[in-house]
Structure 1
């Protein structure tokens, strides 16, 4: 018999990873202790997106200032269209 037969029971009873595979089925690997994903799907230390999502600030397209500027432009365009319609 193999030497790991005593450790196989707890591994089979451990919670499984909650990720889906590319084929659509559930990942069958055990989840990392205290997490819901296995080591390959984000349960490992250091995995995941950086804190405060610095990547989203690369171009500023969705910053508060840019969103407010687009709102003001939209209001201005509506007013201009009304003036142009009145000139016909």
Structure 2
């Protein structure tokens, strides 16, 4: 695919333990697999300003809630070079 393009949305996966708060322990293998897929497609994470977590689960009986960063914006290097100040 030629030209600049960006892919944004809910990927239903996280890249590292910092992308999650609460709930079961983060699977480092699952995070690595997601990062490997991003890298294999030569995608760059555009980052974001706020909020830190983009999804929150229901409140459980113990009063706990799970928070995760599932939404992100990824682009190719042509987009990154053409729109260097893009923030999501």
Q: Name the TM-score, length of structure 2 as normaliser.
A: 0.20
Larger proportion of helix: 1
TM-score between both structures, scaled by the size of structure 1 = 0.20
Bigger fraction of residues in strand: 2
Larger Rg: 1
| More contact order relative to length (CA 8 Å, sep ≥ 6) | 2
